[in-house]
Amino acid sequence: MDTTPKPIAGVSTFLDDRLGAGSFLKRNMRKIFPDHWSFLLGEIALYSFIILLLTGTFLTLWFKPSMGEVVYSGSYQPLVGVKMSEAYASALNISFDVRGGLLIRQIHHWAALLFIAGMMVHMLRVFFTGAYRKPRELNWLIGVGLLTLALLEGLTGYSLPDDLLSGAGLRITEGVMLGIPVVGTYLTFLLFGGEYPGHDVISRFFTIHILLIPGILLALISAHMILMWVQKHTQMPGTGRSEKNVVGAPFYPAFMAKAGAFTLFTFAVIALLGTFAQINPIWLFGPYTPADISAGSQPDFYMGFLEGSLRLMPSWEINFLDHTVSLSVLIPALVPLGIVMTGLALYPFIEQWVTGDRREHHIADRPRNNPHRTAIGFTGITFYGVLWLLGANDEISANFHISLYETTIVGRFAIFIVPAIAYFVTYRICIGLQRSDQAMLSHGVESGVIKRLPHGEYIEVHTPPMEDIADHIRGKKEIPVVESGEDTDGIPPKGARTALGRLRSKMSQAYGTDHIPLEEGHGHEEHAAIGAGDHSDGHKDGH
Amino acid sequence: MIGTGISVNSITARRRHPLARYAVVALALGLLGGGYAVAGPGSSNADAAIASGKADDVAQGKSLFVAHCASCHGLNAEGTAKAPTLVGVGAAAVDFQVSSGRMPAADAGPQAARKPTAEWVNEETIGDLAAFVQSLGGGPTRPTAEQVDPTMGDPAKGGELFRANCIQCHNFVGAGGALTYGKYAPPLNPATPTQIYEAMVTGPQAMPVFNDSIITPDKKRDMIAYITHVRSQVDPGGSGLGRIGPVTEGLVAWVVGLSLLILAAIWITAKKRRAKA
């Protein structure tokens, strides 16, 4: 401190006396962050969001959110003289006549895709490691809210240029709103300010897209980060790690350097995509008119599962008191979205109810160690994935020469069968991986050295696993099971007397039972016992 | 005649000329024949072929037809259970189907696919075959070079017509799309301007006919101008990713974008801090 130059010392003392910055920084700069690649997935979304804010601001300087009709006279020849909305004309202007406009537009769009993709993989990481458990349930709910808002943000965003493709999405949005019983028509007129497409929807979407949702996103992201900071990050099980500590690198300098590098990596990848891969070529789509529609009209990837459910749905409708209820629109629009989002939001609480687990968790689960949760996660992924895939069934049909109707019919069965298969397969894989963990702890690792015993038998020498790997495996924690056993008088505990209670204890039993308990036993494996003496050198080198 | 400087007497005198009656007959025949040739129901090729001594083409065409087409379409192009009659389909249909390799068809799928043409197919044999089919019952004729010249069309106008009439099947840049029962709208990229024109006037396979009263030849040329302009355009934003829209964009975002970032994350976190010994 003695060597600090006076100007710096003076300013920092000034700030310190008034803001208490010194103690704040001292406390927080040394914050420890655990190191694991999967902990950086959320940062993809975070840094993409920053890029979205920056590039989005650039785009608003030229974009005109108006549906007033103009005749295009810019530099894209095949559209000169064509009537279009001001919004579309200004988006063309950004693409062709604003310096760097196309690049920024493309970066904005690629960043949007990576924003949501990053959120998705981050959410899957949190789910599969059980990092949503107490005390982090609220942060998980914030995350679900962020994802939902991001989908809306995407929808309103790609609708803004008012091109033919986005118009198709807008038309579906209108159809879904019209399908809502009783209030659908009123809601539609409210949103579009009259008969579709009207003159208001672009300017309204603009306000929602650049002000309302980003504002909420920003607030929620801040809350998400603060909660993470205060509650501390979860860590993977390993040597010296417990529920009471966090092992890792301090925020300053190590984690900050890594996070800074990762920011630059994210910028680089998005800039790379924006430079070399064309995205949303609105000039090829043409201006929107409700009369035109193109083959291959698809939403951006995050809306694909809704598109797929719409395409798979049989054309059901019921007539109730002279009112048509179009189930063929309502079910695909609301049911899969409801299952996925509600399921995600409720999962921490359902799991708590099933396991009766009220403990705090700061050590992440390895996905294999909670096989039912992992299997449920993969069921969700395949459910989502089948819908997503079938959202592109016309492209699959056209490019791989498969009959379009066959893809629809296969999809209608696959949406029920494939998730069920995924559950079973994932569960078995988890059990298998647990078995291999168990084998590694109790038998050791294959060394590749074959020994011949005096009586002629060949065996492979096993060496004990490296200590950090063994500790990682030993981090497995039992999943609690609710009390269900009858007491000495044959009376089940209070909670398990009702039908729901019995269901709960059954589910708990299935969810929590550990089929492959870890044992360090050295009883029945002669391999390691024989090998250990000769090969402890190689083993020690590992440390 | 007042104001023409020709006296009524001289006209009367010429009218009485011994050759006048022949001249009148010749003129009437010429007008009638010429008028028919211009406005008649599209049979000009065959008539012209016969009139100009190109009857050979028809005969040549017939022998080609018997060799390569008759097994499905019947010896007199009357059609069979396997294939429709070709009476009245016109030379344009023949040129479209044969020059794009769709005919002779390879197998009976839901739709005949574009493929490399057979060995015997060239400008001349197509012309012969077209003349023969045209002679059977007329139909749309092949467009002139001028009718399909993209440089003479207005791509902006053509684009509007293209979006209104074509893209619901062929996709917004003509990349093609799926139809029902295994049929598909083929990509327009390999089609020549002539083939695009002929497809519009003949409506091959699942495609509807856009005849000249629906879309005039000038408008067809505008559309051809748009299609050829857009397909030859260099994508200003980098790789066009197949120009089929958000499907490939999503694929690239995950496979390229997210993979690269995950690799970066793994790389960054793989560098562990070493405890000072």
Is A14 among the domain residues? Answer: no
Q: Are A276 and B272 in contact (CB under 8 A)?
A: no
Average pLDDT in the A32-59 region? 94
pLDDT of residue A187: 93
Q: Are A327 and A318 in contact (CB under 8 A)?
A: yes
- Sequence-distant (≥ 6) Cβ neighbours of residue A339 within 8 angstroms: A383
Is A158 among the domain residues? Answer: yes
- Print the domain residue range for A291: 31-306
Q: How confident is the model at residue A150 (pLDDT cuts 50, 70, 90)?
A: very high
Q: Which amino acid is at A512?
A: G
How far is it, in rounded angstroms, from Cα A205 to Cα A198?
A: 13
pLDDT of residue B3: 56
CA distance to partner chain B, nearest, from residue A13 (Å): 33
What's the complex ipTM?
0.88
Q: What is the 3-state secondary structure (H, E, C) of B223-265?
A: HHHHHHHHHHCCCCCCECHHHCCHHHHHHHHHHHHHHHHHHHH
Average pLDDT in the B100-107 region? 85
* Residues B246, A300: C-beta atoms closer than 8 Å: yes
Q: Are A291 and B164 in contact (CB under 8 A)?
A: yes
Q: Above pLDDT 70, what percent of chain A?
A: 95
* B258 and A CB contact within 8 Å: yes
Is A193 among the domain residues? Answer: yes
Query: Pick from A519, A470, A479, A170: which is nearest to A355 by CA?
Result: A479
Q: Are B150 and B193 in contact (CB under 8 A)?
A: yes
- Sequence-distant (≥ 6) Cβ neighbours of residue B28 within 8 angstroms: none
A284, A305, A397: best mutation site toward chain B, by most B Cβ within 10 Å?
A: A284
Average pLDDT in the A445-463 region? 90
Peptide bond into A135 cis (omega under 30): yes
In tens, the pLDDT along A95-129 reads 999 999 999 999 999 999 999 999 999 999 999 99
- Tell me the CATH number at A86: 1.20.810.10
* Residues A78, B249: C-beta atoms closer than 8 Å: no
Q: How far is CA B135 from the centre of its chain?
A: 20
Query: Pick from A506, A471, A464: which is nearest to A485 by CA?
Result: A506
B230, B247, B256, B260: best mutation site toward chain A, by most A Cβ within 10 Å?
A: B247
CA distance to partner chain A, nearest, from residue B250 (Å): 5
Is A377 among the domain residues? Answer: no
* Residues A113, B249: C-beta atoms closer than 8 Å: yes
Number of H helices, E strands in chain B: 13, 2
Name the residue facing A102 among B184, B229, B237 (closest C-beta).
B237
* Residues B230, A36: C-beta atoms closer than 8 Å: no
Q: How many structural domains does chain A have?
A: 1
Buried b (16+ CB within 10 A) or exposed e, A77-104: ebbeebebbbbbbbbbbbbbebeebbbb
Q: Are A367 and A430 in contact (CB under 8 A)?
A: yes
pLDDT of residue B37: 66
Q: What is the 3-state secondary structure (H, E, C) of B8-24?
A: HHHHHHHHCCCCHHHHH
Number of H helices, E strands in chain A: 21, 8
> What are the two backbone dihedrals, phi and then psi, of residue A323, each rounded to the nearest 5 degrees?
-115, 135
CA distance to partner chain B, nearest, from residue A43 (Å): 10
Q: How far is CA A226 from the centre of its chain?
A: 20
* Residues A295, B169: C-beta atoms closer than 8 Å: yes
In tens, the pLDDT along B81-92 reads 888 899 889 899
pLDDT of residue B275: 56
Is A19 among the domain residues? Answer: no
A387-396, A478-487, A488-497: which has the minimum mean pLDDT?
A488-497
**Residues of A with Cβ-Cβ distance to B247 under 8 angstroms:** 296, 298, 392, 395
**Residues of B with Cβ-Cβ distance to A266 under 8 angstroms:** 261
Whether pTM exceeds 0.90? no
pLDDT of residue B8: 65
Sign of the CA dihedral with A145 first, then A148, A151, and A156 last: negative
* B189 and A CB contact within 8 Å: no
**Residues of A with Cβ-Cβ distance to B186 under 8 angstroms:** none
* Residues A300, B175: C-beta atoms closer than 8 Å: no
Is A215 among the domain residues? Answer: yes
Is A446 among the domain residues? Answer: no
Is A1 among the domain residues? Answer: no
**Residues of B with Cβ-Cβ distance to A403 under 8 angstroms:** 110, 181-182
* B111 and A CB contact within 8 Å: no
In tens, the pLDDT along A297-331 reads 999 999 999 999 999 999 998 988 888 889 999 99
Give the number of other Cβ atoms within 10 Å of residue B53's Cβ.
8
Q: Where are the beta strands (DSSP E) in B61-205?
A: 177-178, 184-185
Average pLDDT in the B177-198 region? 91
CA distance to partner chain B, nearest, from residue A275 (Å): 6
pLDDT at B9 over 60: yes
